[in-house]
Amino acid sequence: MAQITLSDLAHSYVHNGAETGDFALKTLNHVWQDGGAYALLGPSGCGKTTLLNIISGLITPSRGRVLFDGVDMTESPAEKRNIAQVFQFPVVYDTMTVRENLAFPLKNRGLARAAIQARVALIAEMMGLGDILDRKARGLPADAKQKISLARGMVRESVNAILFDEPLTVIDPQLKWELRTQLKSLHRELRHTMIYVTHDQVEALTFADTVVMMHEGRVLQTGTPESLFETPAHTFVGHFIGSPGMNFLEAKIEGSRGVINGQCFPLGASYRTASGFTQIGIRPEYIQFSADEGLPVVVKHVEDVGRRRIVHAELANSPISVSVPEGQFFDNTMARVRFMPDKINIFVDDWRVQGEAL
């Protein structure tokens, strides 16, 4: 295994890309710690696969360097990098049995027969493939084939990292949940560096200890799932994470109070006056309805989503969502909302600013 460092990395698919817009990947610096469980999260086209392919050596970056434990691997071909990659669609050898499929990467590297048998048996057991080891891959359903691909990605003990590129796309929703949890516990046991690419926040947040959130070729934030939820570095992260995402409302900030439409409310920290477009960000979970205190809202409609209700309302002509947990009283006469002061984030020109403790 290795620590993988990306230093001043950028990539353009356009030859000699000169404009910023030409770069599928804008300049980024990042260290993937040895043994970490990472998710690379972002909407379609933000550059996730490009980044993954640069790490595995399928693409040589236009600029910058890729280091494995301090050794420059930027120009090294994929086969020299000792990286396992699992793709969106299963890559299996149909004419081989499941066992032969799993053994293949180990045989290729000349491992002893007994070591191969033991490792294949262990990984097959962990992935729930133990019962079909002697079946031919041909004819197996798509999810079983993708399980084989996943298992093959994990079968080599000595890899520098395992890269998963949206590996659960072809899996049905129930099994998706199961496999996500399985991958997490496999990471705990095997301790390989794993980078899991997805546009699905639930997959990212359940699998990863560290999430790298991308947008338009740029890394906006790297942190724990909790930090992306509680203190998003950029409004895009706030929108993208959570269901529904964070509410953003234009506001004036005066020290430790916010003002919307002439109405004041307390903040959990104190802020210096900053020039630029100022918004508060508050999660639907951290807003409470009240009959007579707080800022006035107009309720538009209520959505029942199982164990809570999402109330869609308007505050000073801006849309706002409020999450009302099961068992909490709510009726349409509650025309005001209060924000939990410690849960308010302040954004200037879309970037979060840090306040000073009160």
List of residues contacting ligand ATP (CB under 6 A): 13, 24, 42, 44-50, 199
Please say which residue, 42 or 245, places its beta carbon nearer to ligand ATP.
Answer: 42
How far is Cα 343 from Cα 346, in angstroms, rounded to an integer? 10
Ramachandran angles phi, psi of 88, nearest 5°: -60, -40
The residue (of 21 and 296) whose beta carbon lies closer to ligand ATP is 21
Give residues with Cβ within 8 angstroms of 142, minimum separation 6.
Answer: 90, 170, 171
CB of 91 to ligand ATP, least distance (A): 17
CB of 207 to ligand ATP, least distance (A): 16
Tokens of 352: 């979060």
Q: 248: number of CA atoms within 13 Å, CB side?
A: 19
> How crowded is residue 297: how many other Cβ atoms within 10 Å of its Cβ?
19
In total, the chain counts a number of residues equal to 358
CB of 237 to ligand ATP, least distance (A): 15
Shortest distance, position 112 Cβ to ligand ATP, whole Å = 38
Q: Over the Cα atoms of the chain, what is R_g? A: 24
Name which of 48 and 81 has its Cβ closer to ligand ATP. 48
The smaller minimum CB distance to ligand ATP, of residues 200 and 209, is found at 200
The rounded Cα 261 to chain-centroid distance in angstroms is 35
Q: Which is nearer to ligand ATP, 192 or 215 (CB)?
A: 215
| Biggest CA pair distance of the chain | 76
Question: What b/e string do you get for 203-225 counting C-beta neighbours within 10 Å, with b at 16 or more?
Answer: bbbbbbebbbbbbbbbbbbbbeb
Q: Least distance (Å) from ligand ATP to the CB of residue 48?
A: 4
Pick 23 or 271: Cβ nearer ligand ATP: 23
How many other C-beta atoms can be found within 10 angstroms of the C-beta atom of residue 259?
Answer: 12
What would the two tokens of residue 323 be?
A: 């999450």
Q: How far is the CB of 123 from ligand ATP (least distance, A)?
A: 27
Other Cβ atoms less than 10 A from the Cβ of 31: the count is: 13
- Cβ nearer to ligand ATP, comparing 87 with 330: 87
48 vs 99, beta carbon nearer ligand ATP: 48
Neighbours of 180 (CB within 10 A): 20
Closest CA to 53 of 16, 9, 104: 9
Q: How far is the CB of 14 from ligand ATP (least distance, A)?
A: 8
Please, which residues bridge with residue 245 across strands?
242
Torsions phi, psi for 13 (to 5 deg): -85, -15
Residue 10 C-beta: closest distance to ligand ATP, Å = 12
